[in-house]
């Protein structure tokens, strides 16, 4: 009895063990080819080479929207430029969409994480399994912006007049920053948040803001390394080159025909309401706003309205001050509102702090696809400010596509310049077909 029992038990054990070995054995899993291998943590270099389709370090380009939201997949312009494309099947990745290949002679992974910080963190973590093969990481996409540096209204203190027009943000403008904060991290109550309503020039009061990590975890991502700042600077400098001007030149007609009418109507209504004149020069190229004035402010709340924008600028100022030791206020910055950096930044920062792991430098690139508030006017009741009646309707599918186009141009121009450097300035070898709208 005893011995039979023991024999059965040990046979069971042996089967269990051998099954586990089969599942975990990388060589048997990889026999069927690179993309069919089941993804498991802790792969060796070979598995990462197969995973990324490259034995050289890759640039990861990650976006959020597969196209369900705006109608244009945010990866469109990169996918159009990829050679030796290899789609990774959906059943072996946590990203919404993943492909490998080359852009302008450089190995890349073009990943669509899906919308939101959780999806972004999951897809990022998956990429980080192969961090030793990652050169750098760009998270790029669309965002809602303040209409001018320092915003249109600022409470408390300057509600008598709207801010004078300066540094207007145009649709398609691009922010390049390593910094981010989570707008939703606050302890607040109704009477504080809505204090002053319906006057738009009211500052929502909170009991604690995003720096109170003991309440909601880390919500301000102001870390940067030399490599991260170098990457941000490389991208910013790329947008100041003749190549970038040439690459976006074809967008000028689209801007004038499809974006300018909305922008013009928006600022005309604003002018009507504030009494200020807003001058919109003819469009030549998107303006690139750097990390001295912009951080990515994330929330899962599609907020719009002056009070929330003021708070977003305050959080931006707090984040930039922590990053650089300056003393900016909400008057000195713009809010760039999106969703995913607060998933990406902690994933990569935590990874980079683990000893023995290769540092992955990252940068956030966000183009302006919409304004965070409607034009404002003095309230008819005589008390403060309100939204103008019948504000001009935006065509968001058009504006989002334009923003996807300009931000993609910035990233692709950086890759083009790297290509030229690697190919002794051979322009033919690094030819790039400028984007069509």
Ligand X SMILES: *[C@@H]1O[C@H](CO)[C@@H](O)[C@H](O)[C@H]1NC(C)=O
User: Rounded to whole angstroms, how far apart are CA atoms 339 and 337?
Assistant: 7
What's the min distance (Å) between Cβ of 103 and ligand X?
A: 15
User: Rounded to whole angstroms, how far apart are CA atoms 381 and 284?
Assistant: 41
Continuous segment of H or E residues that includes residue 193: helix 190-193
> 269 vs 404, which CB is nearer to ligand X?
269
**Contact string 121-140 vs ligand X (x = CB under 6 A):** --------------------
Q: Please, which of residues 33-52 interact with ligand X by CB under 6 A?
A: 38
**Burial label, 390 (beta-carbon count in 10 A; 0-12, 13-18, 19+):** exposed
Select from 193, 219, 191 the least CA-distant residue to 206: 193
| Residue of 55, 257, 426, 433 interacting with ligand X (CB under 6 A) | 426
Tokens describing residue 256: 């004038």
Non-local (6+) Cβ contacts of 279 within 8 A are 165, 168
The answer to whether the peptide bond before residue 219 is cis (omega within 30 degrees of 0) is no
> 39 vs 216, which CB is nearer to ligand X?
39
Residues 129 and 43 sit within 8 Å (Cβ to Cβ): yes
Continuous segment of H or E residues that includes residue 190: helix 190-193
How many binding residues for ligand X (CB under 6 A)?
Answer: 19
| Residue of 59, 224, 243, 330 interacting with ligand X (CB under 6 A) | 330
397 binding ligand X? (CB under 6 A): yes
What's the min distance (Å) between Cβ of 354 and ligand X?
A: 29
The answer to whether the peptide bond before residue 156 is cis (omega within 30 degrees of 0) is yes
272 binding ligand X? (CB under 6 A): yes
Residues 22 and 40 sit within 8 Å (Cβ to Cβ): no
Chain-centroid distance of CA 342 in Å reads 10
Q: Please, which of residues 337-376 interact with ligand X by CB under 6 A?
A: none
| Residue of 79, 92, 118, 252 interacting with ligand X (CB under 6 A) | 92
> 193 vs 241, which CB is nearer to ligand X?
193
Non-local (6+) Cβ contacts of 252 within 8 A are 283, 284
381 binding ligand X? (CB under 6 A): no
Select from 211, 214, 193 the least CA-distant residue to 202: 193
Q: Please, which of residues 289-328 interact with ligand X by CB under 6 A?
A: 314, 317-318, 321
> 92 vs 358, which CB is nearer to ligand X?
92
194 binding ligand X? (CB under 6 A): no
Non-local (6+) Cβ contacts of 24 within 8 A are 40
Continuous segment of H or E residues that includes residue 294: none
410 binding ligand X? (CB under 6 A): no
What's the min distance (Å) between Cβ of 230 and ligand X?
A: 27
Sign of CA dihedral 402, 407, 412, 417: positive
How far separated are the first and last CA of the chain, in Å rounded? 78
| Residue of 62, 152, 323, 398 interacting with ligand X (CB under 6 A) | 398
> 12 vs 156, which CB is nearer to ligand X?
156
Residues 335 and 319 sit within 8 Å (Cβ to Cβ): no
| Residue of 227, 268, 280, 322 interacting with ligand X (CB under 6 A) | 268
> 278 vs 289, which CB is nearer to ligand X?
278
User: Rounded to whole angstroms, how far apart are CA atoms 44 and 418?
Assistant: 28
> 268 vs 379, which CB is nearer to ligand X?
268
Select from 427, 428, 434, 393 the least CA-distant residue to 412: 434
Of 163-171, 264-272, 347-355, 412-420, the segment contacting ligand X by CB under 6 A is 264-272
Integer CA distances (angstroms), 238 to 109, 171, 177, 207, 211, in order:
20, 20, 14, 42, 33
| Residue of 120, 128, 175, 269 interacting with ligand X (CB under 6 A) | 269
What's the min distance (Å) between Cβ of 347 and ligand X?
A: 25
207 binding ligand X? (CB under 6 A): no
> 358 vs 423, which CB is nearer to ligand X?
423
> 158 vs 426, which CB is nearer to ligand X?
426
220 binding ligand X? (CB under 6 A): no
What's the min distance (Å) between Cβ of 190 and ligand X?
A: 16
72 binding ligand X? (CB under 6 A): no
DSSP-assigned letter for residue 132: G
| Residue of 27, 277, 381, 428 interacting with ligand X (CB under 6 A) | 428
| Residue of 22, 83, 395, 433 interacting with ligand X (CB under 6 A) | 395
What's the min distance (Å) between Cβ of 357 and ligand X?
A: 27
Catalog residues that contact ligand X under the rule CB under 6 A.
Answer: 38, 89, 91-92, 268-269, 272, 314, 317-318, 321, 329-330, 395, 397-398, 426, 428-429
């Amino acid at each position: 009895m005893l011995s039979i029992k023991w024999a059965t038990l040990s046979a069971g054990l042996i089967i269990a063990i051998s099954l586990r070995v089969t599942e975990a054995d990388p060589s048997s899993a990889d026999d069927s080819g690179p993309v069919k291998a089941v993804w498991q943590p802790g792969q060796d270099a070979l598995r990462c080479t197969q995973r990324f389709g490259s034995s050289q370090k890759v640039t990861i380009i990650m976006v959020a929207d597969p196209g369900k939201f705006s109608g244009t997949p945010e990866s469109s312009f990169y996918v159009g430029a990829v050679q030796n494309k290899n789609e990774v099947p959906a059943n072996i990745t946590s990203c919404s969409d993943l492909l490998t290949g080359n852009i302008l002679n450089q190995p890349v992974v073009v990943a669509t994480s899906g919308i939101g910080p959780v999806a972004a963190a999951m897809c990022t973590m998956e990429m980080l399994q192969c961090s030793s093969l990652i050169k750098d990481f760009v998270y790029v996409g669309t965002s809602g912006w303040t209409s001018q540096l320092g915003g249109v209204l600022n409470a408390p203190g300057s509600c008598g007049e709207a801010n004078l027009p300066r540094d207007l943000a145009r649709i398609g403008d691009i922010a390049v920053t390593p910094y981010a904060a989570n707008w939703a991290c606050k302890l607040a109550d109704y009477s504080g948040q809505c204090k002053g309503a319906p006057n738009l020039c009211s500052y929502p009061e909170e009991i604690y803001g995003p720096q109170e990590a003991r309440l909601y975890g880390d919500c301000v991502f102001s870390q940067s390394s030399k490599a991260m700042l170098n990457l941000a600077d490389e991208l910013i400098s790329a947008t100041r080159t003749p190549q970038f001007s040439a690459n976006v030149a074809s967008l000028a007609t689209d801007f004038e025909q499809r974006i300018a009418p909305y922008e013009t109507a928006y600022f005309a209504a604003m002018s009507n309401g504030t009494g200020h004149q807003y001058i919109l020069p003819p469009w030549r190229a998107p303006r690139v706003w750097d990390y001295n004035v912009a951080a990515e402010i994330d929330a899962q709340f599609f907020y719009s309205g002056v009070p929330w924008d003021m708070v977003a600028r305050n959080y931006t100022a707090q984040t930039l001050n922590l990053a650089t030791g300056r003393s900016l206020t909400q008057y000195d910055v713009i809010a760039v509102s999106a969703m995913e950096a607060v998933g990406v930044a902690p994933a990569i920062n935590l990874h980079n702090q683990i000893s023995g792991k290769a540092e992955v430098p990252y940068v956030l690139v966000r183009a302006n696809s919409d304004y965070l508030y409607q034009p404002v006017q003095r309230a008819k009741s005589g008390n403060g400010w309100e939204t103008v009646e019948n504000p001009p309707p935006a065509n968001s599918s058009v504006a989002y596509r334009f923003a996807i186009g300009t931000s993609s141009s910035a990233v692709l121009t950086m890759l083009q310049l790297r290509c030229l450097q690697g190919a002794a300035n051979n322009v033919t070898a690094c030819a790039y077909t400028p984007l069509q709208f």
